[in-house]
Structure 1
Amino acid sequence: MTATHTLVMTGASRGIGRLAAERILAADPHVHLVVIARGDSGTELAAQLGRGGRTVSSVSADLGSLVSVRRAAAEIAEQLRSGQLPPLTGFVGNAGIQYTNALTAGADGLEATFTVNVLANHVFIRALTEHFQAGSRITITVSDTHFGDFKHNMGMVPGPVWQDPYALAKPGAFPKPSTTGAGRTAYSTSKLAAIYLIHEYARRLPEGVDVVGYNPGFVPGTGLARNADALSRFMMGRIMPLMAATPMATSLDDAGRHLADVVLGKTSAPTGAYVDKGTVERSSIESYDPAREADLWAAVEDLTTA
């Protein structure tokens, strides 16, 4: 079946994103899904997702390198401009990373968590803004770790520690930066930053282009802890999945289904909204701060400019 519109997606290779991509393709035979993946892995991913006549292509990018992300975004923009891809109706920023320290630098010398979880999405959205059609939806995967309380984090992830955005973008922004606690603080803070930007995008995107944040909840068994130590990886991969049958966690299947529903518009949500699993909720009190949002916008615009 001929594809009539394009959806661009990061983080489709495993876990929540892979399940969501499969559901999106099954539900919408008219979509051309463009997956962003590192190196040659996207080619195989596109082939797997494209079985059965589905339309899937890939663009290579290392999300930890702004140079690489800008190149990928420009490639997609040119494909849209030339008509190689049908009109753009969505972007899904699902890729995310968490490190066991706050010292890891990406290719640009910026802190890697902030680069992948915040700056990479911004590069794609800004490069593709003029191509979004009316009725488009941008979906960014966020996290309830930004609440910073036991109810949402079960004591596993420290709450965010907001600072000047330029400081957050540099390695070593948090106390004891070589520790796992600092790495997890960098993660929760990056997710708070993502919500701030969602609010700012909602103000700045063209009318008819919506942006929402999607929180899957605590989902054991994802690849988020792939950079953790051996014990943490074992706990996340083997022990924590047992919690998926309890109200404290979300199963991979449910998280993927909820993400697909948000992307497809089956979950009704106004622009700027925070979707907790399948329901629009208020994010944390701290996450509503127009002054921080404006400061962050100015910083990311500067940091992502070539």
Structure 2
Amino acid sequence: MQHTIVMTGASRGIGRVAAEHLLRRSPDTHLLLVARGSSGARLAGELGAGGHAVSHVPADLGSLGGVRSAATGIRDRLDRGELPPLRGFVGNAGVQYTNALTEGPDGFEATFTVNVLANHLFVRLLQDRLTAPARIVITTSDTHFGDFRHNMGMVPGPVWASPDVLARPGAFSGPDTTAAGRTAYSTSKLAVLYLVHEYARRLPAGIDAVAYNPGFVPGTGLARNAGPVSRFAMRRILPVMTLTPFATGRGTAGRHLADVVLGTVQAPTGSYVDRGRVGRSSEESYDERREGELWEAVERFTTAYASGTDGVPDGGTVPDGGTNRLAPTDRAATERPGGQR
């Protein structure tokens, strides 16, 4: 049956490979790309060659107002019957900066905005348009482990703090350094896992949420904000590591992402998929107190955008009388699907 999958981060790297796999292996898919500016139209044209159903919606993921406009546009197209039923959201876009001081237009730190808040706002605005069975997949990272085995010393491990601190510029020591920017990245990827666990608790049956870790994938666009030496190393030197067990090639990582989205990998809601198989994320990532604290914070940060009260007109509507909130759960009685807690 025809269905729609919304995807961010499909313009390059593993996202581009995954998009190609999705269209080739699931010909009933209408792939709706979320991309910045004119790149979306170009990408939709390239991926749609050969008769595949591909469209796009423009959005700057660093702007919550932009995310809201994109999501309400998707809702409107679904309501008008211009798109087949929505069966998936893939939050693959991610950024890493050379400092922890970059501020987005909404006042939040830019890494946290793109890697955490943008995904959350998309999920909250699209949740009542998802038709079961549906799957939400958000890309996380090995860096959330914070040990040499998983990042070979290239990225500092996460440094957790109150979400009200993490969401603002200057959350980490030496905030103007590359190390702080990378710490912001690994911490944001730990936050992704906390939110996926909360989605698993709160979303209706039949709508699964899964975190996907591609492993270390050199040669992608993640280092585009780094200095020239780092960009050269990522493009020309580190790709050699894909010949070893320490790194994953773009082709393999993209194929694994498509496997997760299509359900080829059997992953119950709340799962962590490490490359091509379900596994356990770091011990630190199973902390229900932090999960609840983060949930409360991101709901608070995005409420104005979800309800359309941020002053940016778009004509969209949201469920639940304009609040778009999921009902609270009995946390003490909730067990992670698949036995993970």
Pair 1:134 & 2:132 matched: yes
Name the residue aligned to 1:77: 75
Pair 1:207 & 2:199 matched: no
Question: After the TM superposition, which of the residue ranges 78-87 and 232-241 deviates more from structure 2?
Answer: 78-87
Q: Distance in 2 between matches of 1:253 and 1:85?
A: 29
> Which ranges of structure 2 fall in alignment gaps of 5 or more residues?
305-341
Output the TM-score relative to the length of structure 1: 0.98
Query: What amino acid sits opposite 1:163 in the alignment?
Result: A
Q: 1:13-32 counterparts in 2 under 5 A?
A: 13-32=11-30
Name the residue aligned to 1:293: 291
RMSD: 0.7
Q: Distance in 2 between matches of 1:207 and 1:78?
A: 24
Q: 1:110-149 counterparts in 2 under 5 A?
A: 110-149=108-147
Name the residue aligned to 2:278: 280
1:99-125, Cα deviation, whole Å (9 max, x unpaired): 010001111121000000000000110
- 1:225 Cα offset (Å): 0.3
Q: Distance in 1 between matches of 2:57 and 2:18?
A: 18
Query: What amino acid sits opposite 2:229 in the alignment?
Result: L
Name the residue aligned to 1:244: 242
Q: 1:184-199 counterparts in 2 under 5 A?
A: 184-199=182-197
Q: Distance in 2 between matches of 1:79 and 1:124?
A: 15
Pair 1:56 & 2:19 matched: no
Query: What amino acid sits opposite 2:149 in the alignment?
Result: K
Q: Distance in 1 between matches of 2:288 and 2:205?
A: 20
Q: Distance in 1 between matches of 2:38 and 2:144?
A: 34
- 1:84 Cα offset (Å): 1.1
Match of 1:257 among 249, 255, 270: 255
Match of 2:302 among 293, 301, 304: 304
Q: 1:32-51 counterparts in 2 under 5 A?
A: 32-51=30-49
- 1:305 Cα offset (Å): 1.8
Match of 1:102 among 91, 100, 103: 100
Q: Distance in 2 between matches of 1:98 and 1:305?
A: 25
Query: What amino acid sits opposite 2:10 in the alignment?
Result: A
Q: Distance in 1 between matches of 2:241 and 2:39?
A: 31
1:237-266, Cα deviation, whole Å (9 max, x unpaired): 100001111111001110011001001110
Report SS of the residue matched to 2:209: strand
Report SS of the residue matched to 1:18: helix
- 1:78 Cα offset (Å): 1.1
Q: How many residues were matched structurally?
A: 304
Q: 1:160-171 counterparts in 2 under 5 A?
A: 160-171=158-169
Q: Distance in 2 between matches of 1:161 and 1:169?
A: 13
Query: What amino acid sits opposite 1:41 in the alignment?
Result: S
Report SS of the residue matched to 2:171: coil
1:198-255, Cα deviation, whole Å (9 max, x unpaired): 0000001111000100000000100000000000001111000011111110011100
- 1:143 Cα offset (Å): 0.3
Pair 1:66 & 2:61 matched: no
- 1:82 Cα offset (Å): 1.6
Report SS of the residue matched to 2:222: coil
Match of 2:5 among 7, 17, 24: 7
Q: Distance in 1 between matches of 2:79 and 2:191?
A: 31
Q: Distance in 1 between matches of 2:36 and 2:132?
A: 30
Query: What amino acid sits opposite 1:206 in the alignment?
Result: P
Report SS of the residue matched to 1:225: helix
Output the TM-score relative to the length of structure 2: 0.88
Query: What amino acid sits opposite 1:167 in the alignment?
Result: V
Match of 1:224 among 210, 222, 225: 222
- 1:299 Cα offset (Å): 0.5
Q: Distance in 1 between matches of 2:104 and 2:238?
A: 29
Query: What amino acid sits opposite 1:214 in the alignment?
Result: Y
Q: Distance in 1 between matches of 2:51 and 2:37?
A: 24
